[in-house]
Structure formats: C-alpha cells, structure tokens
Amino acid sequence: MTPSLDPVLPGAILAGGVLAAAASLWLLLPNGPDRTATRRLGTLLGLLALGAFIVTGRRLGGFGEEAVFLIVSLVAVVAAAATIVSRSPVYAAIWFALSLCGVAGVLLVLGAQFLGVATIVVYAGAILVMFLFVLMLAQPAGLAPYDRVSNEPFLSALAGAVLLGVLSLSIGRLSAAPAACCGLPSRAQAGADAAAAAATPPAAGAADPLAENHVARLGGELFGRHLVAVEAAGVLLLVALIGAIAVVARGEDVHASMADDAGRAVR
Amino acid sequence: MQDLSPATLLVLVPLLPLIGAILTVLLGGRLGGRAHLPAMAGIAGAAVVAILLLAATARDVSPAHGPRAEPIRPVEMIATLWNWASFDDAYTPPPGSPAAAVRSVADATAGRAGGDVRGFSIPVSLRLDPLTATMLTIITSVGLLVAIYSTGYMHGDPGYPRFFALVAMFVFSMSMLVAASNFLLVYVFWEAVGACSYLLIGFWFTKPEAARAAKKAFLVNRVGDFGLAIGVFLLWMTYGTLDFHDTISPQGVIMPGILGQTRLADAAGYAGGAVGTAICLLLLLAACGKSAQLPLHVWLPDAMEGPTPASALIHAATMVTAGIYLVARSAPLFAACPGALTLVSIVGATTALVAALIGTVQNDLKRVLAYSTISQLGYMFASLGTGTLLGFTAAIFHLLTHACFKALLFLGAGSVMHSMGGVIDMRRFGGLRRVMPVTAATFLVGALALAGVAPFAGFFSKDEILAALHAKGWPSAHGEHHAVVATEGPLRLASFATGASFATGAAAHDAVGLDTLDRPETWRLLFWMSLATAGLTAFYTFRAVFMTFTGPTRVPSGAHGHGEHGHESYESPAPMTLPLIVLAVASAAVGWLLFATNWLSHFLSATPSLTAAAVASTAVPHAFHLDLAIQGTLAAAIGIVVAAIGHLGRRSDGPQMERFLGPLQTLFANKFYFDQIYTALVVRPLEALSLVAALVDRHVIDGAVDAIAHVPVAVGGIIRRGQSGLMQRYALAGVMGVLTIVVLLAWQLRG
Amino acid sequence: MNPVQSLAMLQNALTVGAILFSLGLVGILTRRNLIVMFLAAEMMLQGISVSLVAWSRHHGDWGGHVLVIFVLTVAACEAAVALVFVLQAFSRTGRLDAAAWQSLREATVGRTVDRELPAAGAAPPPFPTLTRAGVQPPGGEHAPLEREHV
C-alpha cells in the first residue's frame, strides 16, 4: 500500500478536470444575453470536472467516511460555483449561505467542531446578513446591467485554471513524511515512526485536535499560548466598529451626482 | 656639456616672456594703462639674456684662421628640462634606414638579441648654438622695440592688455621654436606661433575683414603644418628619434640625433632617395606655409588687417622667418637630396619675382610692404636652396638685415597710419615729409636698405645672395672651391645610406627625377630672376616713398594733428619714434659691420647643422664680388629712377605708372588670381561639403535620434491604453503576474 | 487513523480548499457587482480555513485552528468596514458597479462604457426594500395596514 498512486493517468484526468472546470466557468459566467445552450454546455462541463476530481480523489478507507466527505464537499463546491455564476446578487448570497453550510460540514468531518459551528454562526449568521442588508438598500429592481456582464471572463477563468492546476499538482505530490524543517510533533510523523516500530495505530497526543474535550482544549490553547493575539483581535474588532461608525457619520448625500470623473473634489 | 650657467640663461629666454604674458593675462585688467609693464619687462629681460648668450656662444667659437683652416668645431649646448614621454617597444624601423643601422651598433654593444623593437622618448631639451643665438637675439630685440612702439600705437585701445599678452606669448613661442632641440617640440611651437598669429591678426575681431583674414591665415598655415606633421612622422621612422642632438641611452649607448654630431660625422648618416626627398619636400611645404611662399602666400597680404606693430613683429621680422630657420636647421637633410634643394631655390626665386610684380601696383602702403616681405623671403629661400655654406649664411644674414629694415618700414607705415587717422591708402595723402620728419627720414633709410643701396644693410646681404646664386650658375668663374658641383663628388655619394628604399649611390638619386633640375642653366635663370626682382624691389619701394612723402602736402580729414593751424605736425609720439630711430641706425650700420668683419658667416658656420661635411666643404673665402655689386646696384638704380619718373614730387598725385602696363596691370592687381583659384578649387567644394554635412547632421543624424526618441513615446502610448482605471483589470494583471511567479517556482521545485 | 488515511484525508481536504480558493479568485476578478465580489472574497477565506484546519489535523496541533479563528475575526471586521465603503460608493454613483470608478485611468484614455445589452427577461419579483433608517416611511399611519406586499 504505497502512499502515492500511479501518477500518469490520474494526472491526466486531473488536468482535464481543471480545464473542464475553467471552460465551464467561462461559459457560465454572465456575459451578455443568456443563451440556454451555453448554460447547458457549461453545466455539463462543470459536472465532468467534478467527476474528474472525484475520481482522482484519495480513498479514505471506509465507505461511510468517503460518502460523508463527498456529500459535504460537493455541496460546498457546487454552491460556491453557483455563487459566482448567478446573475442576481441575492441569489448569489443565498448560494453562498449554502456553500457555508457545506464548508461547515467539511470542517466537522475534519474534526474542527468549534470552527464548523463558528463558521455558520459568524459567517452565515452575521456577515451574510449584513450583505443582504446592503443588497436590499442598494440593489436596483431587476437585474442591473453590470450584473449581466463580466470583466474579462476568459482570462480570469484561465488564471483560475492555472492556479488550481498548480495547487492540485502540489497537493498530489505530498508525501507522508513531513518536511524536515519544522520539527512539529506531528501525529503523522509519530504515526510513521510508530508504524515502523509496531503496526498498532498510535495514541493521540495531548495537543491533538482529534482528542476529546476539543472545545475546552481549544479554548485553553487560545487563551494560553495565544492570549496576546486574542486581545489584539478584540481591539481590532473595536477599532473596526468605531471606524465604521466614524465613516458613516460624516454623512453622505444620497442624491449626490452619479458622475465619478467630472473632476469633482473629494468630499 | 659646458657649465650650468648658460643653461639657466637659456631657459630664461622663453621663460621671462611667458611669465610676462601670464601676469598680463591675470593683472591686465587691473593695470589698465600700465598693462604693458609685465610683458615689456619680460621681453626686455629676455633680450638682455639673449645678448649675453650670444656673447657666450661667440666666445666658444674658435677664431677664424686663414683660408682652408682645419674644419670648424661645432658649438652646441643642450639643456634638458624634463622627459615629456617615453615608450618602450614603440616601433620597428624599416630595413635599410639609418635607424636600422643604429640598431646594429646598439645591439652589438648591449648584447641584445631578439626582435627589432625600439623604444621612443621625447625629452624637452633646449639647445644653444650660433644659429639659435642669432635667432633669439633678433626675436627678442625686435620684440622689445615693437613692444615699446606699441605703447604709443595701441594707446587707448580697449584691448590694450590683450595685445601685450599676445606679444609676450608670441615671443615665448618663437623663442622656444628656435631653441627646441626636438622636432616634435618644433612642431608644437610651430603651431603655437600660428595660433598667436591668428590671435593677433584677428585682434580687432569685430571687424569682419580681420576675422576673415585671421581664419585665412590659420587655414593656409594648416596646410603647411600638415606637411610638417607628416615630415615629422617620416623623420621618426627613418631616423628612430626626433632629437636634434645625440642622447645616451640607459645602457650607455649613444643614440645619434638627427642633427647630432655623431650623425653629422657619419658619411652614411642621412637618407637620400625617395624617402629623403619626401622628407625634404614636406619640410619645404611647411616652410612655404609659415613663410608665405608660393603657393601658400595668400594669407600674408590679408594679414595686414592686424595691428601694425603685430605685422612688424610677426609678419616681417620673426614668425615668417620660422620657415627659413627650419630649412637652415635641416641643412644636412637637404644636402642629401640635391633635387629638393634646387626646388627650394626655384620656389623662392619664383615667389620673389611674382610678389614683386604684384607689389608694383598696390596702393595700400602696408600691402606693398607685405608683398615686399614675401619677395624678400623668396630671396632667402633662393639662397638656402644653393646648398652651399655661403648660401645658408647669406640667407641668415639677409634674415637679420631684413628684420631690421622691414620692421622699420612697417613701424614707419604704422606711424603714418596712426597719424593719418587710420588711412593707409597712398593716394589719399602725400608730401608727408614736411609734417612727419622723423618718420620720413627713418622710412627713407629703411627704403634704401630694402632697395639694396650701398652702404645700407640690404646691399650687403643681397650681394651675398646673388653671389651664392652666381656661384651655382657659373661654377667655373669662382674657382676650384665649387668642384663639388660635379655629380661624382665623393661627398655626394658619401652622404647616402645603404638600403633598397633609401638611396644607394648615384643610381637611386636620379630615380626621384628632381635632381635633373640641378643644372647650371637652372641656376642662371634663377640668378637673372633675382636680379630682376632687385630692380622691381627698388621700384615699388621708392614708388611708395615718393607717393607718401614727396609732392604737395595732403592730409586726409580724419588725421590727428597737433600744433597750431597751418603749421601742424603729425609726428607720432616718442614711444613710436624712438624704435624707428634705433632700427634706422641698425639698418644703416649692421650690414656694413657684419660684412666687413665677416663675423656672422664665421659665427654661423659653427652651427652643428652647417658643419656637415656636405655643407662645410663648400666654404669659400670671404670676398667682395665687385661685378655682382655693380649689377645689383645698377638694377636698384634703374628701379629708383623709374619710380622717380613716375611718382616723384608733384607727379606723386598724378596718374599712376601702371597705366602703361595695360592688361598686365589687371593681372598684378588681382594678385595673379591666386585667391580666385583657391576659392574655386578649395573653398567652394568645402562649403558644399559642409552644407551636405549640415544637412546630414540635421536630418539624418538628428532625425535618427528624434526617431529613437519617438519610440518610447509610441510604446508608452500603446501601454497607456492598459491604464483603464478599472480595478478588476488591474487585479487580473496582478494575479497573472503572481501566477507566473508561482508556476516558475513550481517548475524549479518540481524535482 | 493510519498515516495513509491521514494523508489521503489531507489531500482531499486540501483539494476542496484549493477549489474554493480558485472559485473565489475567479469571482473577484470577474463579477462587477461589489457585493458579489465580497462574497467571492469571503469564499477565498473559506478555502483558506479548510486548508488550515486540514493541515492542523495532519500535524496534530492547534496552530491551524487558532489561525482560522483569527481569520474569522478579521473577516468580520473587514466585512463591516468594507460594506460601509460600499455604501459610500453607492451614494456617490448610485450603483454597486466596480466599473463605475475609473478615475485612475490615464488622461488620454477614454471612459470604458458597457456595450448595449438587450433587455433582460422578465424581471425577478420585487424584493422588499428597506427604507433608510430614521426616515418616516411614505404614507400615513395606516400605511402599514395598506401595504400591497410584504
């Protein structure tokens, strides 16, 4: 059982998947009048890309684990794609909320109990609601013209494809032995050492997130080792709050002129 | 080497005027009306020192014994100041040249093997020998008199300090030229005197004619300087050194100088044939440029635009004699190429005749004197070209007397011009002897000297020149002393070096073709030309004298007179008349004194250049040739009588004699159309070329540069369109850049 | 979990994170609506969070978790302040269009204007809009009872 699989075929499939993903994004991004054929082709390509990624994914051992991970990650990814592709910004916000749920699921699968829930609470509960408020304040009725066009969709999709390709390549080349630089008490390392010594899975260390009392120990870690950072984050929140109020309090005229380049002085 | 004291004095002669010039430049503005003091002090000091050196050198010359005494011992003293430059492994001498011959001696002594690569060094050395001492005395004395004169003539001129700085600078340059013991230094100061001449001719540079004349003088001199430069190159290649004197290398080997005593004593020391003749002709070209001989004489008449004292100093007495000095100094070089010598005489005599003809129809007093200068210099070249000791010494003698009386005549003309308010056209004034007695008397003395009337200075020197020419034309008439004229003379052959490209005896020297000119018939023709020129000289000189000083007294309206009306005197102030008197005395006395004692010839024969066997062997006992004297005086008398018929007394205002010349008058008045020919042949093509160059510069070169300048602007214009102000495009560009780096990194790390 | 499975889990999670990050990048570069751009930015942060937690799990320590908490905090601050600016921008130009601001362009380059698009399809149903805070809603005191829709 070797950690790395036969590289050639999965590599090709992965590359094809990346390209297909890029092409589907290019087709699906709003770019002028909607054409059903384009949308269908884009959706098809997107599904193909997803399939390629699924096929080249690593096996996790049990069927249950694989199924759960697959479902939550699919939700996250598909909803994310829909976010950026939707023409209506409100729809995009809703899709984003769904993507957040998927991400929370992924985090929970990874054992980050606190963070999974915190994602929902903070992002979907607070940040997303703020976005919706702004949309309701500022969004014109119907689709604005600028929602129906994209800025350089081809080049952007290409950039995304390149990035995803490089990342996938790097991820595929990961090996079990961690880098010799960091000296972290890695469970993988400990696992590798222990596997070399005995075939039994090692016990989780005290600092392991997967151990019990996850939240308590996370809290202990936060307020123990990272106390100063936590306090700084609190100050940051306060400053952001004050800053936001200060900027708003200057008072802007809603009926100001629409022109932004008539040489008007900054007020 | 003698004791050190003469060396120090020798350095002082150029140094004092140089210090005077620098002080005048620095302090002239502040000194104002006394700005002449530093320069005059410097030149006066130099004159005193030069006379001391003359005495010291004369003391070293062994006294003359009877005829056919032992060969005279050369007298020279070298003072090396510093080494300007020295190069190891500088060049390889051509095979067969005298330089290559030197090497075998050097190698044998030093035991060097290997390639024939030489070193080369340029020491700054000054020399003192009879020729140099004579020239220094002339230069500094005439310079001093001109400086004294200028305090009166240039009084009130806004450029007063500048004038004296330039005069002092000129005296420095000329002194260094005649005292330098290295051909390269001679070239440097050759150029320096040319530059001083340019600055002095163009002294009143706001006047367009003066600026144009200065430019013309400089450019025509440039042609000669080019010849000198090429000549210096050839000299170096042929002889391996540019020093006049012998030097001792660090290995203790004697390196013979070009005019050093080692080479002079060597029978095979000088190159003849093609290379030797080329060197001589190039030196002749340089001399023609500086001494205004045909065809490079066109600058001297125009140079009269400069202030008259400058004309007296530079264009009469000193600078134009640099060419004479150069040929006289290079006597051994010329002696090895008899064809070149003959050409020197031909050029000189022709120039003398042509200039005299042009001078007969000039109405500008200074122009008459200018053409007279050209003519007299032609006499000196004709004398140099005879190649005999008499010829060389007669040329220097005439140089000395010419300096005296020509400077006198120029200063007298300046005095007239100064009093007449700047008018110098002889037709506009007359009968000035009544109102300018001193000037008139001294001018008359100078005119008599120029015309060659006994016992004034010019008579004796012209007599010696005619004697030299006569001796070449009629060799049998002068006895066995001139047997060397025969082509198989042993001395002739002995002066050739061996080697293919250099002369190999009688066969090679005919290959050049010039030597066929060296026949008695040629010399007879030159003699008759010189005699005719003597008559013409007397004619135009006295024509000028009669038109200016005789006849009814007429004065132009702008003249400066002082004294009560009706008995005004236009005489010049004392600073101007004193030098005139001194020079008049000199013109009257010096010729007779030097001739009677034969001191100058004997003195000059101790110059190392003239102790060369080829020259010294032509020495003849000093004699007064009565027949030649009668011929010369007859010619002069005819000239004076014709001038008197045409212009004496009340006829000085009447129609000119030139009306009898008919079409010849136009030819003479237009200076034989030399200027027009040069304009058509040289000036117009150059102007066309410069126009083409200007167009190329403006459109092609500037156009190319402007086109290159437009490239960034165009590229910028294209790139500028990317600055749309849309931040998402900017972000996209940034992302693409980052991704490029990431991909590159991943590619590097893929291993 | 044995090392193989740990690595596989890591790789899968990292892949998910990478996909989310790339999608977010494409969204920022492409969409013109300011709000959608910010959503895409948040999505990039989500991808980062997933990757960090995956690494943390792989190494068996808390570093990733802690960092994700701070990411969360900063994202919240950022969203607050950014939305204030979005509203300011909207009040100046009346639109939520990123391309409405072109003052940074070169003086010689003209303003980029969208090409004409045919009218969209049926407008989506109007969503309820909020009146500005502190302003009396139009209509009288009985207006709330007479609203046509909520």
Across the interface, do B732 and C29 touch by the CB < 8 Å criterion? Answer: yes
From CA B130, how far away is CA B62, in angstroms rounded? 12
Chain C residues within 8 A of A191 when measuring between CB atoms: 1-3, 6
Across the interface, do A151 and B739 touch by the CB < 8 Å criterion? Answer: no
3-state SS string for A65-117: HHHHHHHHHHHHHHHHHHHHHCCCHHHHHHHHHHHHHHHHHHHHHCCCHHHHH
- H or E element at residue B91: strand B77-91
pLDDT tens digits, A128-141: 999 998 888 887 76
Is the predicted pLDDT of residue B34 greater than 80, yes or no?
A: yes
pLDDT tens digits, A194-244: 555 544 444 445 557 777 788 999 999 899 999 999 999 999 999 999 999
B80 backbone dihedrals φ, ψ, rounded to 5°: -95, 120
Nearest residue on chain A to C22, judged by CA atoms? A160
Across the interface, do B739 and A162 touch by the CB < 8 Å criterion? Answer: yes
Residue B173 has a pLDDT of: 96
Across the interface, do A187 and C117 touch by the CB < 8 Å criterion? Answer: no
From CA B431, how far away is CA B364, in angstroms rounded? 16
Chain C residues within 8 A of B732 when measuring between CB atoms: 29
Helix axes C3-30, A63-85, angle to 10 degrees: 10
- Tell me if A229 is assigned to some domain: yes
Is the predicted pLDDT of residue B562 greater than 50, yes or no?
A: yes
Percent of chain B with pLDDT over 90: 46
- Tell me if C121 is assigned to some domain: no
Nearest CB to C106; choose among B720, B727, B735: B720
Is the predicted pLDDT of residue B251 greater than 50, yes or no?
A: yes
Distance from CA of B711 to the nearest CA of A (A): 29
Is the predicted pLDDT of residue A3 greater than 60, yes or no?
A: no
Across the interface, do A151 and B729 touch by the CB < 8 Å criterion? Answer: yes
> Cβ distance B307 to B251 under 8 Å?
no
Residue C12 has a pLDDT of: 92
Distance from CA of C101 to the nearest CA of B (A): 7
- Tell me if C123 is assigned to some domain: no
ipTM topping 0.85: no
From CA A39, how far away is CA B177, in angstroms rounded? 100
Is the predicted pLDDT of residue B490 greater than 50, yes or no?
A: no
Nearest CB to B735; choose among C29, C32, C111: C29
Q: Please tell me what DSSP assigns to residue B651.
A: G
Nearest CB to A247; choose among C73, C88, C126: C88
Q: CB atoms < 10 A from the CB of B421, how many? A: 15
From CA B515, how far away is CA B518, in angstroms rounded? 5
Is the predicted pLDDT of residue A185 greater than 70, yes or no?
A: no
Q: Return the higher-pLDDT residue of A264 and A122.
A: A122
Across the interface, do C109 and B721 touch by the CB < 8 Å criterion? Answer: yes
Q: Residue A41 burial (CB < 10 Å; 0-12/13-18/19+)?
A: middle
Residue B725 has a pLDDT of: 85
Q: Which two tokens stand for residue B51?
A: 């006379």
Residue B577 has a pLDDT of: 87
Nearest CB to A138; choose among C46, C59, C90: C90
Residue B687 has a pLDDT of: 92
| Mean pLDDT to the nearest integer, B671-677 | 86
Q: Can you spell out the DSSP letters for C76-134?
A: HHHHHHHHHHHHHHHHHHSS-BGGG--TTS-TTSPPP-PPP-PPPSSPPPPPP-PPPTT
Q: Which two tokens stand for residue B295?
A: 């065809």
Is the predicted pLDDT of residue B558 greater than 70, yes or no?
A: yes
> Cβ distance B580 to B438 under 8 Å?
yes
Residue B106's closest CA among B317, B255, B313?
B255
pLDDT tens digits, C44-98: 999 999 999 999 988 888 889 999 999 999 999 999 999 999 988 888 888 888 8
* Average pLDDT of chain A to the nearest whole number: 81
From CA A108, how far away is CA A72, in angstroms rounded? 10
Which residue's structure tokens are 């560009």?
Answer: B733
Question: Given a contact as 3+ CB pairs under 8 Å, which chains touch C?
Answer: A, B
Chain A residues within 8 A of C35 when measuring between CB atoms: 89, 92-93, 131, 134-135, 138-139
pLDDT tens digits, B371-420: 999 999 999 999 999 988 899 999 999 999 999 999 999 999 999 998 88
Is the predicted pLDDT of residue A43 greater than 90, yes or no?
A: yes
Residue A142's closest CA among A95, A83, A88, A93?
A88
Nearest residue on chain C to B730, judged by CA atoms? C29
Buried b / exposed e over A162-194, threshold 16 CB at 10 Å, is bbbbbbbbebbeeebebeeeeebebbbbbbbeb
Distance from CA of A122 to the nearest CA of C (A): 8
pLDDT classification of C107: cutoffs 50, 70, 90: confident
Bridge partners for B569 per DSSP: B562
Residue B54 has a pLDDT of: 92
Distance from CA of B720 to the nearest CA of A (A): 18
Residue B521 has a pLDDT of: 86
From CA C34, how far away is CA C84, in angstroms rounded? 12
Nearest residue on chain B to A155, judged by CA atoms? B732
Is the predicted pLDDT of residue C132 greater than 90, yes or no?
A: no
Q: CB atoms < 10 A from the CB of B86, how many? A: 11
Distance from CA of A76 to the nearest CA of B (A): 24
Residue ranges of chain A whose CB lies within 8 Å of a chain B CB: 151-152, 155-156, 159, 162-163, 166, 169-170
* Average pLDDT of chain B to the nearest whole number: 84
Residue A202 has a pLDDT of: 42
Q: Could you tell me if A43 lies within 8 Å of chain C, comparing CB atoms?
A: no
User: Which residues have CB under 8 Å from B241's CB, separation 6+?
Assistant: B99, B120, B247, B255, B256, B257, B258
Across the interface, do C102 and B732 touch by the CB < 8 Å criterion? Answer: no
Residue B86 in 3-state DSSP? Answer: strand
> Cβ distance C60 to A208 under 8 Å?
yes
Q: CB atoms < 10 A from the CB of C42, how many? A: 23
Is the predicted pLDDT of residue B498 greater than 50, yes or no?
A: no
Residue ranges of chain B whose CB lies within 8 Å of a chain A CB: 726, 728-729, 732, 735-736, 739, 742-743, 746
* C-alpha separations of C105 from A266, B729, C114 in Å: 17, 11, 16
Across the interface, do B736 and A159 touch by the CB < 8 Å criterion? Answer: yes
Q: How many CA atoms lie within 13 A of A265 on its CB side?
A: 1
> How many Cβ contacts (< 8 angstroms) between chains A and C?
360
Q: Return the higher-pLDDT residue of B72 and B163.
A: B163
Nearest residue on chain A to B737, judged by CA atoms? A159
Residue B566 has a pLDDT of: 59
Q: Which two tokens stand for residue C144?
A: 């709330």
Residue B502's closest CA among B273, B721, B731?
B273
- Tell me if A191 is assigned to some domain: no
Based on DSSP, count helices (H) and strands (E) in chain A, helices before strands: 10, 0
Residue A214 has a pLDDT of: 87
Across the interface, do B720 and C25 touch by the CB < 8 Å criterion? Answer: no
Name the range with the highest mean pLDDT among A34-38, B112-116, C44-48.
C44-48
| Mean pLDDT to the nearest integer, B292-307 | 91
Distance from CA of B728 to the nearest CA of C (A): 6
Nearest residue on chain C to A221, judged by CA atoms? C62
Chain B residues within 8 A of C28 when measuring between CB atoms: 728, 731
> Cβ distance B388 to B328 under 8 Å?
no
Residue B323 has a pLDDT of: 93
- Tell me if A234 is assigned to some domain: yes
> Cβ distance B149 to B414 under 8 Å?
yes
> Cβ distance C18 to A168 under 8 Å?
yes
Nearest CB to A145; choose among C80, C117, C126: C117
Nearest CB to A155; choose among B726, B732, B746: B732
From CA A94, how far away is CA B22, in angstroms rounded? 96
Chain B residues within 8 A of C107 when measuring between CB atoms: none
The CA-based dihedral angle spanning residues B628, B630, B635, B639, taken in that order and rounded to the nearest 10 degrees: 150
Residue B480 has a pLDDT of: 43
Across the interface, do B728 and A152 touch by the CB < 8 Å criterion? Answer: yes
pLDDT classification of B483: cutoffs 50, 70, 90: very low
Residue A253 has a pLDDT of: 43
Helix axes A36-56, A63-85, angle to 10 degrees: 150
What is the span of the domain harbouring residue A243?
213-251
* Average pLDDT of chain C to the nearest whole number: 84
Which residue's structure tokens are 């999974």?
Answer: A116
Bridge partners for B430 per DSSP: B554
Q: Return the higher-pLDDT residue of B183 and A36.
A: B183
Residue A206 has a pLDDT of: 54
Across the interface, do C112 and B725 touch by the CB < 8 Å criterion? Answer: yes
Across the interface, do A166 and B735 touch by the CB < 8 Å criterion? Answer: no
Residue C75's CATH number: 1.10.287.3510
What is the span of the domain harbouring residue C82?
3-99
- Tell me if C127 is assigned to some domain: no
Q: Could you tell me if C105 lies within 8 Å of chain B, comparing CB atoms?
A: yes
Q: Please tell me what DSSP assigns to residue B749.
A: T
Chain C residues within 8 A of B727 when measuring between CB atoms: 98, 101, 104
Q: CB atoms < 10 A from the CB of B20, how many? A: 29
Nearest CB to B732; choose among A152, A162, A163: A152
Chain B residues within 8 A of A159 when measuring between CB atoms: 732, 735-736, 739
pLDDT classification of A258: cutoffs 50, 70, 90: very low
Chain B residues within 8 A of A170 when measuring between CB atoms: 746
Is the predicted pLDDT of residue B609 greater than 50, yes or no?
A: yes
Q: Return the higher-pLDDT residue of B131 and A183.
A: B131
Q: Could you tell me if A1 lies within 8 Å of chain C, comparing CB atoms?
A: yes
Is the predicted pLDDT of residue C115 greater than 80, yes or no?
A: no
Distance from CA of A194 to the nearest CA of B (A): 29
Residue B66 has a pLDDT of: 52
3-state SS string for B472-531: HHCHHHHHHHHHHHCCCCHHHHHCCCCCCCCCCHHHHHHHCCHHHHCCHHHHHHHHHHHH
The alpha carbon of B555 is separated from its chain's Cα centroid by a whole number of angstroms, namely 37
What is the number of domains present in chain C?
Answer: 1
Nearest CB to C102; choose among B726, B732, B735: B726
Across the interface, do C43 and A84 touch by the CB < 8 Å criterion? Answer: yes
pLDDT classification of B690: cutoffs 50, 70, 90: very high
pLDDT classification of B20: cutoffs 50, 70, 90: very high
> Cβ distance B272 to B339 under 8 Å?
no
Buried b / exposed e over B660-696, threshold 16 CB at 10 Å, is ebeeebeebeebeebeeebeeeeeeeeeeeeeeeeee
Chain C residues within 8 A of A168 when measuring between CB atoms: 15, 18
Q: Which of C28, C34, C96, C105 to mutate to test the interface with B (most CBs of B within 10 A)?
A: C105
Percent of chain B with pLDDT over 70: 88
Question: Given a contact as 3+ CB pairs under 8 Å, which chains touch A?
Answer: B, C
Q: Residue B302 burial (CB < 10 Å; 0-12/13-18/19+)?
A: buried
Nearest CB to A159; choose among B726, B729, B732: B732
Q: Can you spell out the DSSP letters for A104-170?
A: HHHHHHTT-HHHHHHIIIIIIIIIHHHHHHHHHHHPPSS--GGGS-BSSHHHHHHHHHHHHHHHHHH
Question: Given a contact as 3+ CB pairs under 8 Å, which chains touch B?
Answer: A, C
What is the number of domains present in chain A?
Answer: 1
